[in-house]
Amino acid sequence: MARLRTKLPLFNLLTKLVFTSAFLLLLPYIVKRVNLIQTDNDLVRKREQVISLISQIGIEPFIASDSSNAFGSYNILRDEFISIERTTRNEDINYIEETKRLIDNEQIDYRVLNYSLNINGKPYILSVGRSMTSIQLAEKNIRLVMLLFLAFIIIITFITDLLYTMRLLKPLNRIIDKLKSISDPSSYDRKPVLTSTSDFISLDKTLIDLMDNIDLLFRKEKETTVNISHELLTPVSVIRSKLENLLIREDISPEIADKIEESLKTLHRLQSLINSLLLIAKLESRQYLKEDAVSLDDILSEVAEEISPVADDAAITINKNFNDNFRFAKANKSLLFSMFYNIVNNALKNTPGGGKVEIVTYLADKTVIAGISDSGKGIPQEKMKTLFSRFKERGNEGSGTGIGLAIAKSIADFHAIEIDVESEIGKGTTFLFRIKSN
Amino acid sequence: MNVLIVEDEKSLSEEVRTFLRSEGYICDQAFTGMEASEKIAVNLYDFVLLDVGLPGYNGLDLIGEARELGSEAAFIVVTARGAVEDKVRGLNLGADDYLAKPFALIELLSRMQAVARRKFKIQDQNLVIGDFTVDFQSRKISSGGAEVGLTKKEFDLLVYLVLNRNKVLTRQQLYEHIWGNILDDQYDSNFIDVHIKNLRKKLNEYASTPWLETVRGTGYRVSLQ
């Protein structure tokens, strides 16, 4: 797993390294060849210099006619020599050989150019040589320079690759950020990403179109839910009124009254179910207003106050511990109240008589946290995943339709609040509401 | 009092009419917006129960029309939408109250009575129940001159039972009246029982309350002869 902007330069680096290593394998051979050709050319040039010198000043300064029949000149380090000697053989010689010479009891390897000369009718052999050590030294130097140069090129191109790829992929990252920042297709940033890369322009455009389409479908679906709920509420309303009117009549027997009463209760369940679905659909399609500036502590206090008669009745203590006085700038107070009320009410239901429910607020990491804990029996791990799903009852102790937590979640989403649940079997459950404060 | 019931759902309109008649109201019905518009222009009503979901007619427009004609009828807007904006718009346009479908008939009556008290400046007389006196104006209940300390919810509950005296109110009706129905998934029969228990306990410190009856399986009733 790596990002594209590192992967691309890394791949480039890899191919460069492969080619360079292949080149490095061949390098000694190439350098050797180049160096030998260079040396041989050099030897030929020296030979020409010597010949032109002889043609100017004659052979005598090198070889006095009678005293000796050979001349040899070495430079101080003995890496080069020139020798001229008389020969008896009268043939054309022009070749390069590698040979050993003994100088001051020291054997030295030379690359030597032998050349036959004919001066004043006398045959001579001219030898120009260079020591193999000096040739190899030059070879080593060439290799070193080439290596350094290659390394330099690789590093420079890697860095430029990296920088360019980063710049190139900036629009892509921007598109990814745009996608990450939204919770709903309608909030996708429709401002096109600025780039000269046509692929990204087309990606951005495709995504914007896709978001528009999804948004339209979402809205249609939500509208349908709202409309269906309305359609359902009218017949419920009719039946309810009919039953209530029946119940008022004095000519009905107690048994019939009981039946009507039961029907009303069942009808009420249907009614709350529809209302809950309607509430969620309206929350999801943002049909509620957020116009209240309200303090978190105040809402929680109100919830605690509201529910205290029930808590007192069950001998459950509600502890409040508020350490942060966060205020919502724009919120829907009654929805937030319902959300917290729902959770506190659940906490009460799950706490055995004589137990306690804790309501706390505090600031952690720039996040305002409201926590509601019970000392109940906890939620089994397998139920945690579906906790906020619709119609999944948390336990059989609840009297609701099991949609309460789904509603709480929708209200939290509506206010950009995150809900976390921590639960330990036998110890209790804590609902944490994380509110990002700026 | 004259009531115009504007509701396109005929059977619902019938039920509301039956109920309001039994409470002594004189009822007229309109099933379409046009019909309602005509009736409001011709007749004088004290109340208009207005369903805003009329097909082909924005029910809220009727309020404006009525006001232009100088009608002083109290408008109670009934909607299955229950949307906030409807509520705000309705009240801005001069509706006197707002009720979401499905509503309890007793709740409708109670809203109408409240609107009537406000609109027609009807002063509630203090009411004597057993050894207690309920003062609706200052929202107090006292016994032998000593005030009984009740919470707001307890007092609301008591007043609702007293205003609908001699009728059985179900726990659901009581709950809806006191807590509204924004999250009626939370409806818990235990709630009302706890509050009634507390209410009784507080009242019983002053005098007995045989008039506050529990109707088994159903709810509660205040019986006054």
Nearest by CB to A245, from B18, B53, B184: name it.
B18
In terms of domains, do A247 and A364 share one? no
- Render pLDDT for A19-62 as a digit per residue (tens, 0 to 9): 989 988 988 888 888 888 988 999 999 999 988 988 888 887 77
pLDDT tops 80 at residue B55: no
Domain boundary among B80, B97, B119: B119
| Alpha-carbon gap: B182 to the closest alpha carbon of chain A (Å) | 8
Task: Assess whether B103 and B139 both reside in one domain.
Answer: no
Nearest to A271 among B84, B102, B186 (CB): B102
pLDDT-derived band at A396, boundaries 50, 70, 90: very low
Average pLDDT, rounded, for chain A: 85
Q: Are residues A332 and A297 in the same domain?
A: yes
The domain tally of chain B equals: 2
Q: Do B84 and A287 touch (CB under 8 A)?
A: yes
How many H-runs (helices) and E-runs (strands) does chain A carry? 8, 12
Q: Per-residue pLDDT for A77 more than 50?
A: yes
- What is the share, in percent, of chain B residues with pLDDT greater than 70? 90
Same domain, B113 and B6: yes
Structure confidence at residue B182 (pLDDT): 53
Residue A64 has pLDDT above 60, yes or no: yes
> How many CB atoms within 10 Å of residue B88?
12
Would you say how long chain B is, in residues? 225
Q: Do A230 and B81 touch (CB under 8 A)?
A: yes
Statement to judge: residues A21 and A129 lie in one domain: yes
A437 or A367: which leads in pLDDT:
A367
**Cα B18 to Cα B60: distance, rounded to the nearest angstrom:** 25
Residue indicated by tokens 């009984």: B148
Residues A272 and A368 in one domain: no
Give yes or no for residue B119 having a pLDDT over 70: yes
Res. A148 pLDDT band, cuts 50 70 90: very high
Same domain (yes/no): A409, A319:
yes
Percentage of chain A modeled with pLDDT above 70: 96
- Asked whether residue A314 falls in the same domain as residue A280, the answer is no
Q: Is the pLDDT of residue A399 over 50?
A: no
Residue that is last in its domain, among A126, A141, A156:
A141
Q: How high is the pLDDT of residue A358?
A: 93
Residue A66: pLDDT band (50, 70, 90) is low
- Is A24 within a domain? yes
B9 touches chain A (CB under 8 A): yes
Q: Does A242 touch chain B (CB under 8 A)?
A: yes
Residues A320 and A278 placed together within one structural domain of the fold: no
Within a domain: A177: no
Domain end residue (candidates: B119, B141, B173) = B119
Q: What is the pLDDT of residue A99?
A: 87
Contacting B residues, span 22-61, partner chain A, CB-CB under 8 Å? 22, 53
Rounded to the nearest angstrom, the minimum Cα separation between B64 and chain A is 25
Pairing outcome for strands A292-295 and A327-331: antiparallel
Q: Mean pLDDT, chain B, as a whole number?
A: 84
Of A2 and B189, the structure prediction assigns the larger pLDDT to A2
Residues B21, B39 within the same domain: yes
Q: Give the pLDDT confidence score for residue A194 in this predicted structure.
A: 84
pLDDT of residue B184: 57
Q: Does B178 touch chain A (CB under 8 A)?
A: no
Q: Comparing A361 with A283, which gets the higher pLDDT?
A: A361
Q: How confident is the model at residue A65 (pLDDT cuts 50, 70, 90)?
A: low
Q: Per residue in A50-63, pLDDT tens?
A: 889 888 888 877 77
The answer to whether residues B92 and B7 belong to one domain is yes
A332 neighbors A288 (Cβ within 8 angstroms): yes
Residue A371 lies in a domain: yes
Residues A114 and A133 in one domain: yes
A185 located within any domain: no
Asked whether the beta carbons of A261 and A275 are under 8 A apart, the reply is no
Mutate to test the interface with B, among A223, A228, A244, A247 (most CBs of B within 10 A): A244
Q: Using one digit for the tens of pLDDT, what is the confidence trace for B175-215?
A: 888 877 555 556 666 788 889 999 999 998 888 888 999 88
Residues A135 and A227 in one domain: no
Does position A69 have pLDDT exceeding 80, yes or no? no
Shared domain check, B110 and B9: yes
CATH number, residue B160: 1.10.10.10
Contact B184/A at CB under 8 A: yes
Q: Which domain holds residue A16?
A: 4-141
pLDDT at B90 exceeding the cut of 80: no
| A contacts of B105 (beta carbons < 8 Å) | 241, 244-245
**Cα of A276 to nearest chain B Cα, Å:** 7
Q: Cα–Cα distance between B216 and B225 in angstroms, integer?
A: 21
Same domain (yes/no): B9, B102: yes
Instruction: Give me the helices (H) in A63-131, please.
Output: none
pLDDT at B108: 93
pLDDT of B5 higher than 80: yes
pLDDT band at A397 (very low <50, low <70, confident <90, very high): very low
- According to the model, what pLDDT value does residue A280 have? 85
Contact between chains at A309 and B185 (C-beta distance less than 8 A): no
> Has residue A12 been placed in a domain?
yes
State how far residue A373 is from chain B, nearest Cα, in angstroms: 19
For the segment A323-336, the average pLDDT, to the nearest whole number, is 87
Clarify whether residues A102 and A127 are in a common domain.
yes
- A266 touching B, CB under 8 A? no
Contact A407 B105 (CB under 8 A): no
Residues of A with Cβ-Cβ distance to B84 under 8 angstroms: 287-289
Q: Are residues A275 and A297 in the same domain?
A: no
Whether A81 maps to a domain, the answer reads: yes
Task: Find out whether the peptide bond into A28 is cis, omega within 30 degrees of 0.
Answer: no
If asked whether residues B24 and B96 sit together in one domain, one would say yes
Q: Is B145 in the same domain as B101?
A: no
CB contact under 8 A, B83 and A282: yes
Distance between CA A145 and CA A143 in Å, rounded?
6
**Assigned token pair, B43:** 């007749």
- pLDDT the model gives residue B181: 52
* Identity of the highest mean pLDDT range in A90-99, A153-162, A371-380: A153-162
Answer yes or no: do B41 and B149 share one domain: no
In this model, does residue A370 exceed pLDDT 90? yes
* Structural domain range at position B28: 2-119
- For residues B165 and B210, give the distance between their C-alpha atoms in angstroms, rounded to a whole number: 13
| Residue A364: strand, helix, or coil | strand
Share of chain B above pLDDT 90, in %: 23
For position A437, what pLDDT does the model report? Answer: 65
Arithmetic mean of pLDDT, A340-347: 89
Same domain, A8 and A136: yes
pLDDT in tens, A103-132: 777 888 889 999 988 887 788 888 899 888
d(CA A20, CA A79): 33
> What does the pLDDT look like over A180-224, one tens digit per residue?
888 777 778 888 888 888 998 999 899 999 999 988 888 887 777
